[in-house]
Each structure stands twice: as structure tokens, then as C-alpha cells.
Structure 1
Amino acid sequence: MKSLVNQLANYASYHRDRRNIYTHFIGIPLIVYALVVLLSRPSFTLSAELTLTPATLVVVISCVYYLFLSLSLGLVMTVLMAFALLGAAPLAALPWAQWLGWGVGLFLIGWVFQFIGHYFEGKKPAFVDDLIGLIIGPLFVVVELLFMLGLYKDLKAEVEQIAGKVR
């Protein structure tokens, strides 16, 4: 498994234009939330007390991965993903057509923002070359926000040393 710095620097190399990063602040959360909404409706009853959804499984696996990369950032991602799960439940409980409409609609709107950002960047999305970019994208957005707040300065310097500065 690549280190946190290597994962973020690789992803960042596709995202050095500030406008692209800003569109990702909207697009990636919409996509993640939409996926959680869509994966929250199917469920598997394991016992009278335990029902699992694909969303729960995907969130747990993602958060474990984030925790392996960085305990502190993994905890931040775990909290955010827990909120996504909680926020998805009301939409997943809607009638079928409304649930699907919200899920697919938010997913498509998120991707529109992504592609607008990559138009500004002049580069393809990172996941085209490396599918791990699909799981690193949400972490990247959180880390970029933390960088803007003046946090994780050493991590920012390491990422920028490899990927270059945001322009």
C-alpha cells in the first residue's frame, strides 16, 4: 500500500488548478453522498438485531483504509462518512422513484462539477489512470480544506514537493 503522501501527491498531480479543486469541493461530496444514498436502500438481514446495507460495508471498508493511511485523517473521514450514512437514510426510505431520482440526480450533478473542474485543469480525472483515485478523492478534498485552514502544514509541503503548488 502506498503511503499517505504518495497517494495524495499522485492524486494532487491531477489537481493543481485552484478552480478544479473548488469544483471538487462540491462534486466529490455530492458523488459520495449519492453513492451512499443509492447503496443504503438494499439491505441484508443477518439476524433480528443486525441488518447491513452495501453502503455500510463500503463506508466501513473505506474508513479502515483511511485509518491505515493516517489515524487522524482517518478519524475525520470516519466522522464525515458516518454523517453521510445518517443523512442518506431519509432519502433511502423514500418511495423507489424518488430515492432513485435523488441518488442518480446528485451523482450526475457531482460528475458535472468534476468534469468542469478537469476542463479548467486540462487533465483527465486521476481515477482514469489509477482506480484508487476513487477512494482518495474524498480524502483529498478534506485534506485540501484542512490545508486552506492552515492545518497539516508538513503534509502540505510534502505533497507540494512531489505534485507542485496549487496555481
Structure 2
Amino acid sequence: MTLAQHLAKYGEYHRDHRNVLTHALGIPMIVLAVEVLLARPALPLGGFALTPAIVLSALAAVWYLRLDLKMGTLMTVLLAIFVAIGAQIAAISTAAWIGGGIGLFVLGWAFQFLGHHYEGRKPAFVDDLRGLLVGPLFVTAEALWAMGLAKDLKREVEVAA
């Protein structure tokens, strides 16, 4: 399946503008929550701290890069930023690590379910677990399109839909 096909399929579950808006808020919160919660433990590895967040993000980045080089590169950069922010939050204290991570996760999912209430349709990942990876791509693509960028991709998605 191509990037455009994934985005078109995901978009079928996200036609209501309120749902798209709640996803624009909720998905980054969920991604950051996962990065925060997986920022510990850190395994020292030659002056570098390897965390579950880095491993999971690297695997996601490989999937994104295999799907599309340009969008995959952007997603890799965004994931790296979220890994760094997550590590900073986790380093504050155990309370910030757990409370911040769980708080972001719960609030992010609350936005998701509110959006799907407006949509009147279940989340895409219920039918295809890849939706958990496509969600951040969708939000990123929507942001690019809102800025007047990635017009070719938008056309491809419209054709695929």
C-alpha cells in the first residue's frame, strides 16, 4: 500500500472537520505520552542512553521511510524531537515522568474519542492496527496541506480516495 493509499483509507474515518481538529490535538499528545512513558529505563550504551522510546521510534521511522522517503524523513525528524522532549520530561522527576505521560495519554485519547463521537464512526486502528502509525502521518499531512505544501501528495490522496 502506498502513502497516498494509507492516507486515503485513514481519511475515510476522518471526514468531519471537528474530528480532524481533535486529532490534530490528540495524536501529538499520544505520541509524546508514549515517548515520555518509554523514556525510562535508559540503558547506557557507549555514552548514549538507549531507551524503549528510541527503539520504538526507530522502528516507526523505518516504516515511514520505507513508505515514502520525503514524508518518512519528516516523520523521523518529528519523532526525534518528540523523543528528546519525552526524555526531558522523564528526567524532571518520577512524578513528572508518570504523571505527565499518563496525563498526556489520557487527554490525547479523550480528544480522539470526542472526535470519533462527532464522526459517528469507530477509530481506524480498530480495523487495521497500522492506523496507529498512519494517524501521526495523517496529522502531519493535514498540517502540510493547511500550509499549502505537499500539493502533489494531496492530489494523490484525493485520487486514491
Q: TM-score range by the shorter chain?
A: over 0.9
Deviation for aligned residue 1:82? 1.1
Instruction: Give the corresponding residue for 1:53.
Output: 51
Instruction: Give the corresponding residue for 2:37.
Output: 38
TM-score (norm 2): 0.94
CA deviation vs aligned residue, 1:30-68 (integer Å, no higher than 9, x gap): 0000000000111233x4434310000011111111111
Q: CA RMSD in A?
A: 1.3
CA deviation vs aligned residue, 1:1-38 (integer Å, no higher than 9, x gap): x2111111111110111111111110000000000000
Instruction: Give the corresponding residue for 1:115.
Output: 113
TM-score (norm 1): 0.91
Aligned 1:18-167 pairs, distance under 5 A: 18-45=17-44, 47-163=45-161
User: Which one is further off, 64-73 or 99-108?
Assistant: 64-73
Q: State how far apart, in whole Å, the 2-side matches of 1:6 and 1:161 are.
A: 9
Deviation for aligned residue 1:154? 2.5
Q: What stretches of structure 1 of length at least 5 have no aligned partner? A: none
Q: Any idea what SS the aligned residue of 2:38 has?
A: helix
Q: State how far apart, in whole Å, the 1-side matches of 2:77 and 2:160 are.
A: 29
Q: What stretches of structure 2 of length at least 5 have no aligned partner? A: none
- Write the letter of the residue equivalent to 1:67: L
Q: How much identity, in percent, do the aligned residues show?
A: 52
Q: State how far apart, in whole Å, the 2-side matches of 1:119 and 1:135 are.
A: 21
Q: State how far apart, in whole Å, the 1-side matches of 2:140 and 2:20 are.
A: 11
Deviation for aligned residue 1:133? 0.3
Deviation for aligned residue 1:162? 3.7
